[in-house]
Amino acid sequence: MEARQFQGLILGFIVGIALFAFFYYESQNLLCLILIPIGAVMGMAPQLLKPKDMDDDE
């Protein structure tokens, strides 16, 4: 796993926790726990879907 993918995963995880906390506070439903891995995957997705020859360092 590349560093950018890992950073996206961590940032998405943090956002997923924030979303879980908000929606759990509103509904008291533990089904909201699914938002944590969804947020993590959504944070990593742009780096996974980017073409390999496209580099942001230019």
Overall average pLDDT of the 1-20 stretch: 92
Q: CB under 8 Å to 19, separation ≥6 — which residues?
A: 32, 35, 36, 39
* Percent share of the chain, pLDDT over 90: 69
Q: How confident is the model at residue 31, as a pLDDT?
A: 92
Q: From 17, 5, 16, select the one nearest 44 (Cα to Cα).
A: 5
Q: How confident is the model at residue 29, as a pLDDT?
A: 92
Structural domain boundaries of the chain? 10-43
Please state, rounded to an integer, the average pLDDT across all residues of the chain. 89
Q: What is the pLDDT of residues 34-57, one digit of tens each?
A: 999 999 999 999 888 887 777 665
pLDDT reading at 58 higher than 70: no
